[in-house]
């Protein structure tokens, strides 16, 4: 165990269209920066090891895990969190579909599910229930709301495509 002097580095972040400059230790993950430094607690910390998907956010429009991404790595990239999804107070179609289909119980995994579903539809991987299940597999729901989650993604995919 070598002791190291705690040094911080300036990190410029573009989150939901807002620019932030934070002074961070290099080891700080995007997830901890969002939650603990920027107060954006919609992105959840589940396992913190890339196994549950609760921390799913978009970087340059693609879904990634904020718990395994260093904040410093996304400098110069565009980050979208669940807080940045609704436009002018209007729910994103995937958010509306989750409400309509009752696609959650406790709700802890829901922000990650929704961010994942938005990207899943955009990728073109929501063509059938089977495909939705496969491409949403990285988001675990301990309550087991999967059938309703699949229904919500299916509904939103039809709305977005039409």
Partner 1 sequence: MRDFSYLRAGSVEAARQAAALPGAMLLAGGTTLIDLAKCGVAEPDSLVDITHLKGLDKVEVSERGATIGALAKMGHVADHADIKSRFPAVSEALWQAASAQIRNMATIGGNLMQRTRCPYFRDPSNFPACNKREPGSGCSALGGVTRGHAVLGTSEACIAMYPGDLAAALVAFDAIVHLGERRVPVDDFFLVPGTTPEREHAIEPGEMITAIEIPHSAAARRSTYLKIRDRQSYEFAAASAAVGIEFEADGRTIRDLRVALGGVATKPWRARAVEEALKGKVLGPDAVRAASLLAVEGAVDHGANHYKIELAPRVVARAILKMGETA
Binding site for partner 1 (CB under 8 A): 1-2, 4, 6-7, 9, 25-27, 29, 48-50, 53, 56, 62-65, 67-70, 72-73, 76, 116, 119-120, 123, 125, 133-139
Q: In the bound complex, what is the minimum distance in angstroms from residue 149's beta carbon to partner 1?
A: 14
Q: Is 97 left (phi over 0), alpha (psi -120 to 50) or beta?
A: alpha
Element (H, E) at 132: helix 129-135
Element (H, E) at 59: strand 56-59
User: Whose structure tokens read 């002097």?
Assistant: 5
How far is C-alpha 8 from the chain's CA centre? 26
Q: In the bound complex, what is the minimum distance in angstroms from residue 103's beta carbon to partner 1?
A: 18
Which among 89, 93, 140 has a CA at the least distance from the CA of 118? 93
Rounded CA separation 106/10 (Å): 37
Q: In the bound complex, what is the minimum distance in angstroms from residue 106's beta carbon to partner 1?
A: 20
Closest CB to partner 1 among 7 and 162?
7
Rounded CA separation 96/160 (Å): 12
Q: In the bound complex, what is the minimum distance in angstroms from residue 159's beta carbon to partner 1?
A: 21
Q: In the bound complex, what is the minimum distance in angstroms from residue 75's beta carbon to partner 1?
A: 8
Closest CB to partner 1 among 4 and 162?
4
Closest CB to partner 1 among 25 and 83?
25
Closest CB to partner 1 among 69 and 110?
69
Closest CB to partner 1 among 107 and 138?
138
User: Whose structure tokens read 């196994």?
Assistant: 51
């Amino acid at each position: 165990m070598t002791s190291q002097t705690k040094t911080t580095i300036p990190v410029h972040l573009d989150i939901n269209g807002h620019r932030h400059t934070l002074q961070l230790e290099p080891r700080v993950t995007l997830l901890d920066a969002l939650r603990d430094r920027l107060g954006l607690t919609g992105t959840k910390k589940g396992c913190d090891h890339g196994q549950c998907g609760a921390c799913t956010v978009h970087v340059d429009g693609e879904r990634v895990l904020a718990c395994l991404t260093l904040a410093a790595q996304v400098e110069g990239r565009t980050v979208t969190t669940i807080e940045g999804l609704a436009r002018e107070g209007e729910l994103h179609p995937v958010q509306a579909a989750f409400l309509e289909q009752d696609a959650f119980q406790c709700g802890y995994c829901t922000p990650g599910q929704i961010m994942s579903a938005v990207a899943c539809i955009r990728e073109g991987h929501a063509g059938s229930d089977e495909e939705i299940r496969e491409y949403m597999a990285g988001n675990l729901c301990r309550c087991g709301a999967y059938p309703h989650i699949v229904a919500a993604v299916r509904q939103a995919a039809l709305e977005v495509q039409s």
